[in-house]
Homo-oligomer: A and B are copies of this chain.
């Protein structure tokens, strides 16, 4: 039986696997975590609205009825094209006849890896929990300060990157300060927190129609966010961020700007783009090896306008369907038509009843866009049980303004000590 190996259980890898159900293949799906992460809602875990279990579904549970598919939790270290096998951290090499690589991206600091320590990015569950801990802990630290000027330093939040993730984070952080935490503190006023959103491009949401970028800016400003566009971040320190000529003091910075593809792709030994993505053939295979496909965020695949397709779930899912069809129909290496993306639109939420959306030539804003956003995301959450729990949390949050997952994991001695040395 032919061996199909899939690396990564994000939208690309998981949907490829699911579509191979009942097919005459021996399928192995490898992921370094045990869960499929519903990444579009990851910022809601980072901002305490949802819990990790709401958006992380065990891969084995999703595929438990699929008899032809083995799920392995492991880290792939190398792809050996010549011998048609992949090397794993804790397993002997896995041979394949067909390989689908869907390894996604991680944050990229434009060569400034030292920024990561002060400005964590948001790609994995751990990232989200780290950001949540930091965010909530900062309000706690502010409450411990005796002087207003000390407290203020902890009440400044900078989000770098004005794409959908940055916009959604900025809106959520502002809502935490203005609604969720209000009346929860005695010494500080959480709503005095300053939230900054910095984007190097001239406007927010550069990948969406201009009207929506303008609307998002207006909505965010209404929530008290200071939106800074057309300015580059040139330095990030433990004390703040240098934005153009201005140094903004803040101990809490979140990175939502650059991303870079997995370094595993380098072992494919094919041309990569500037951010490490594989420049794929029209059938999504790699040059010279029609049996290896790269899909999702890891692929640089040109759209109708000549620009690379955006790094969003629908692209990965459509590519999964495309590749699964080729494999099922025995069309690998003899593809009949190139992959073509059907753009179903994009959307971003800004806050309660506030969102922007584009579907074809139509644009929506405000409450209608927000309902649309909520419905589309809810629909795509994998388990019915999780859908119900997210819905309850959203309704509860909508009515009360509360967020259900305001948990700081126990800080270590080190966290406290670091603080002590800073305050002194």
Chain B min CB distance to A311 (Å): 20
A58 with B406: in contact, given A64-B184, A75-B416 (CB under 8 Å)?
yes
* A37-78 interface (Cβ within 8 A of B): 51-54, 56, 58, 60-61, 64-65, 69-75
Query: A385 near B389 (CB under 8 angstroms)?
Result: no
Query: A32 near B410 (CB under 8 angstroms)?
Result: yes
Query: A34 near B140 (CB under 8 angstroms)?
Result: yes
Query: B32 near A411 (CB under 8 angstroms)?
Result: yes
Query: A416 near B52 (CB under 8 angstroms)?
Result: no
For A64, the chain B residues whose CB sits under 8 A away are 183-184
Chain B min CB distance to A115 (Å): 20
Nearest B residue to A416 via CB reads B89
Query: A35 near B407 (CB under 8 angstroms)?
Result: yes
A126 with B419: in contact, given A184-B61, A405-B53 (CB under 8 Å)?
no
Nearest B residue to A419 via CB reads B90
A144 with B51: in contact, given A124-B410, A410-B125 (CB under 8 Å)?
no
Nearest B residue to A65 via CB reads B183
For A73, the chain B residues whose CB sits under 8 A away are 137, 140, 143-144, 408
Nearest B residue to A75 via CB reads B416
For A136, the chain B residues whose CB sits under 8 A away are 34
Question: How many residues of chain A are within 8 Å of chain B by beta carbon?
Answer: 63
A90 with B406: in contact, given A53-B51, A64-B184, A136-B34 (CB under 8 Å)?
no
For A184, the chain B residues whose CB sits under 8 A away are 58, 60-61, 64
Chain B min CB distance to A202 (Å): 36
A141 to B184, CA, bound (A): 44
A230 to B171, CA, bound (A): 59
Query: B146 near A409 (CB under 8 angstroms)?
Result: no
Provide the main secondary structure of the chain A interface: mixed
The 0/1 profile, CB within 8 Å of B marked 1, for residues 134-166 of chain A is: 001100110110100000000000000000000
Query: A74 near B144 (CB under 8 angstroms)?
Result: yes
A34 with B406: in contact, given A61-B184, A416-B90, A423-B90 (CB under 8 Å)?
yes
Query: A90 near B35 (CB under 8 angstroms)?
Result: no
A90 to B53, CA, bound (A): 33
* A408-424 interface (Cβ within 8 A of B): 408-411, 413, 416-417, 419-420, 423
A136 to B35, CA, bound (A): 11
Interface residues of A (CB under 8 A from B): 32-35, 51-54, 56, 58, 60-61, 64-65, 69-75, 89-92, 124-126, 129, 136-137, 140-141, 143-144, 146, 181, 183-187, 385-386, 388-389, 392, 396, 402, 404-411, 413, 416-417, 419-420, 423
Q: Which 9 A-B pairs have the closest CB atoms?
A: A53-B405, A73-B140, A60-B184, A89-B416, A51-B51, A34-B408, A51-B53, A56-B407, A90-B419
